[in-house]
Structure 1
Amino acid sequence: MHKLHISTQFDSGAIDVVRLERADDIQLRIRKDSAADFAQWFHFCLHGAAFQPVTLRFLNASESAYPKGWDGYQVVASYDRQEWTRIDTQFDGTEMTARLTPMAQAVYFAYFEPYSYEQHLDLLASAATSPWVTQQRLGSTVQGRDMTLLRITDEAGNTPPEQKRKVWMIARQHPGETMAEWFVEGFLERLLDADDAVARVLRDRCVFYVVPHMNPDGAVLGNLRTNAAGANLNREWAAPTAERSPEVLLVRQAMLDIGVDLNLDVHGDEGLPYNFVVGSEGTPGYSPRVAALEDAFKAAWAASCPDFQDRVNYGKTAPGQANMTLATHWIAQRFGCMAFTVEMPFKDNADLPDPLVGWSGERSKKLGASVLQPLLQWSA
């Protein structure tokens, strides 16, 4: 019989092992972020349990950052790190239990389908081969990784440069929300498709500025919400610093230098099993013009993509009550533009559930591709 072992020494690996004597009673604790108290992300490999009924007990699930996120949630598992499926999972209000009988000696488990730093670099390299893409290094993260911006447009198009709309997309401010970079991958694949008519028109009308990964350090470290310095980047936009949040400082300065006509900040939500957006209502500059733009954008997206909806969301922020440290609120106020936080589920889309995979990387890619349709209507 193979000896049981759990490994986490790989990109985004994170779990604390309490007890590993029997496959049917593996006791674990969800680890906190490396420099902060958020505990929700996990990613590990179990060795030596092939053909044995495995029970994983997450003992501190109720003490995690978002305990309601475990209600209706299912752990994802994979043998090849390519295909991830959901497994039987229950939460009793105190601990979360997941069960599987592995068909191989090594099986990976994660909170959501991972998106590794190597995948991130591959995404940048692939996009940079396009004639419509210019890759720019903005600077360094806390740990010295590159902060990269992709500029995308058709310079030979019919729209004069000064008339082109400036569209920004940023993703993974919270590094454990890996669905956000899957979303960007799908968006880029479609936007750079030479045969896609919608993409062709958008490349002519707009200049896109895309930051696929705002928090590379936090992702590699296996954090849910924070960077290497312990900063929640989506609470740093009012006053970022080079020491604590250089990632925000660099991107924010690029926005100030270039300008913004629309921004999409892509995230994942632990609790709600739906895809939705959050606008900038509650900011001092919110106006009927911006509200009308938001309504039209949401209606166009919902009409063209059944995976998107606007019935279930966080609700409206009261006038003057917006948290101005958030990217969406700071950007909307500073540039007087439409800005959205895009939220996708860690669970599944309750409107179109898939019991095998739940919400997934591939479905996130499809949603990312679908946002070109409302962008087309907005840019007209």
Structure 2
Amino acid sequence: GAGAVDGCAGMELLEFSSCFESSNLQFALYNVEDDAYDLVLDNDLHTQGHTQWFYFAVRNGRPGQTVRLRIINMSKAKSLYRVGMRPLAWSEARASQAAGASLAGGEAAEPWARLWAGAASQLWQPVGDRIRYSPTSSRCEFRGFPCGGFSLSFDYTFGEGTHSRGDVVYFAMYAPFTYSMLQLSLRLLAQDPIVGPLCKFRCLCGTLGDVRCDLLEISNWTLSKAHKKSVVVSARVHPGETNASWMVHGLIGFLLSPGPEAQVLRNHFIWQIVPMLNPDGVICGNYRCGLCGVDLNRQWRRPSEALHGTVYSLKRMIMRSKRRSSLCLYIDLHGHSRKLGLFSYACGQFAKDDYRRFTVRMYPKLLGLLTPEFEPAFCRWRVGKGKRGTGRVVVAKDVGLTETYTIEASFFGAVVRDQDGAEG
């Protein structure tokens, strides 16, 4: 909050808040010497680190006022902020104007609710000048901060068109997609008379935090399931990778669309989608872990039903489908904070004369042909150090499904190339 700070008598300071879903900010202090606000992120619950995801609100800014914000305990040495990525901001005043008079009147005050009244691209905006991502200054140690390794610093100017002191501005690493947003989207699907009958809404399991982990199944249920194959898709095992939720949100929208491609996919496949595999971590504002303090995407070999219930239940569902010979593809959606573009990881270390060496490369090849943002050079076929317990590797090696992929999407964007391979 904007409490008293030495040397700041009479100053009106900004007020910071992280008392809402998926937020992450431990505290903020005004640095008199540098005329900047030093911000400290919370560790993932029951861990000593994983400080990268941020999401907080600021109020009490004057229209036209420029402030310097510094997040001083970020954990990653490499970051896309070094090559042009910018923080995102959401202005309550701008969102109210975009949402129209009904929302401006207070019917839906939360950002996640207002999202559905307008395009996210119009409401979450890249902001910041003089952006710098660098090692945290040693001076912070003398001020008593629990320093991490790196700092993200940027200037922000409050909008001229806002009411004095009235606007609230939210800052985030990427456009948030909260558990409440997921529940709202599933309710809207269930209530829709056209797409609702194409969906089956199930609970995969309960979580350690006593919320449900949802399973959405999409198909043309008027046709027999006898000859249909299953495709399993999961997302958000890492809570801070919110772009994974936006990818699965887009996938669901496409599968439920009236186009001929979507109709073929519904007629021939049962799509089993777990849109949020780590809802506890999402709700708490974690970046990497669940409530038990471990990375759930390293627990696939021997998951505990009590501690890693969502992974345990999803693995069991995948194994059942594989035994019935109905499973043909598993995709795990992630976000990447250090590379550009869209790319895949798979287990493709087969002999040159092994047919699986070619079949495992077919799906990424098709993505490269159909998607300009796809980066074949970033694809990996080996199992890297520390990856043996991930969903992709366990499903490939232990369950025996060759066509299993991690799809990574950059937080920043892509270098789009035209058909001749030239960058655009």
> How would you bin the TM-score normalised by the shorter chain?
0.7 to 0.9
Q: Which residue of the partner structure matches residue 30 of structure 2?
A: 20
For structure 2, list consecutive stretches of 5 or more residues without a partner in the other structure. 1-10, 96-110, 116-122, 137-150, 418-424
Q: Structure 2 residue aligned with 1:87, among 119, 127, 136?
A: 127
User: Is the contact made by 2:46 and 2:291 (CA closer than 8 Å) also made in structure 1?
Assistant: yes
User: Is the contact made by 1:225 and 1:232 (CA closer than 8 Å) also made in structure 2?
Assistant: yes
- For the pair 1:257 / 2:320, whether they are aligned, the reply is yes
- For the pair 1:218 / 2:281, whether they are aligned, the reply is yes
Give the total of aligned pairs.
Answer: 344
Letter in 2 for 1:214: L
For structure 1, list consecutive stretches of 5 or more residues without a partner in the other structure. 353-380
Deviation at 1:177, TM superposition (A): 0.5
User: Is the contact made by 1:302 and 1:308 (CA closer than 8 Å) also made in structure 2?
Assistant: yes
User: Is the contact made by 1:231 and 1:245 (CA closer than 8 Å) also made in structure 2?
Assistant: no
User: Is the contact made by 1:142 and 1:246 (CA closer than 8 Å) also made in structure 2?
Assistant: yes
- For the pair 1:122 / 2:184, whether they are aligned, the reply is yes
Residues 133-152 of structure 1: CA deviation (Å, up to 9, x unaligned): 11111221110110111111
Q: 2:158 and 2:261 mapped to 1: Cα distance?
A: 44
Q: Which residue of the partner structure matches residue 365 of structure 1?
A: none
Deviation at 1:235, TM superposition (A): 0.3
Letter in 2 for 1:155: W
TM-score, structure 1 normalization: 0.84
User: Is the contact made by 2:124 and 2:175 (CA closer than 8 Å) also made in structure 1?
Assistant: yes
- For the pair 1:240 / 2:303, whether they are aligned, the reply is yes
Q: Which residue of the partner structure matches residue 55 of structure 1?
A: 68
Deviation at 1:286, TM superposition (A): 11
User: Is the contact made by 2:29 and 2:38 (CA closer than 8 Å) also made in structure 1?
Assistant: yes
Deviation at 1:71, TM superposition (A): 2.2
Look up the SS of the partner of 2:69 in the other structure.
strand
Residues 64-110 of structure 1: CA deviation (Å, up to 9, x unaligned): 14544542232111113441111232213432211110114311101
Q: 1:199 to 1:66 in 2, by over 3 A?
A: farther
User: Is the contact made by 2:360 and 2:402 (CA closer than 8 Å) also made in structure 1?
Assistant: no
User: Is the contact made by 1:280 and 1:286 (CA closer than 8 Å) also made in structure 2?
Assistant: no
Residues 15-52 of structure 1: CA deviation (Å, up to 9, x unaligned): 13341377951111232111222111110001111321
Look up the SS of the partner of 2:366 in the other structure.
helix
Look up the SS of the partner of 1:35 in the other structure.
coil
Q: Structure 1 residue aligned with 2:405, among 315, 321, 340?
A: 340
Over aligned residue pairs, what C-alpha RMSD do you find? 2.4
Letter in 1 for 2:280: D
Give me the identity figure in percent: 24
**Higher Cα radius of gyration:** 2
Q: 1:335 and 1:133 mapped to 2: Cα distance?
A: 28
TM-score, structure 2 normalization: 0.76
Look up the SS of the partner of 1:121 in the other structure.
helix
Q: Which residue of the partner structure matches residue 170 of structure 2?
A: 108
User: Is the contact made by 1:4 and 1:21 (CA closer than 8 Å) also made in structure 2?
Assistant: no
Q: Structure 2 residue aligned with 1:97, among 145, 153, 168?
A: 153
Q: Which residue of the partner structure matches residue 40 of structure 1?
A: 52
Q: 1:19 and 1:278 mapped to 2: Cα distance?
A: 41
Q: Which residue of the partner structure matches residue 273 of structure 1?
A: 340
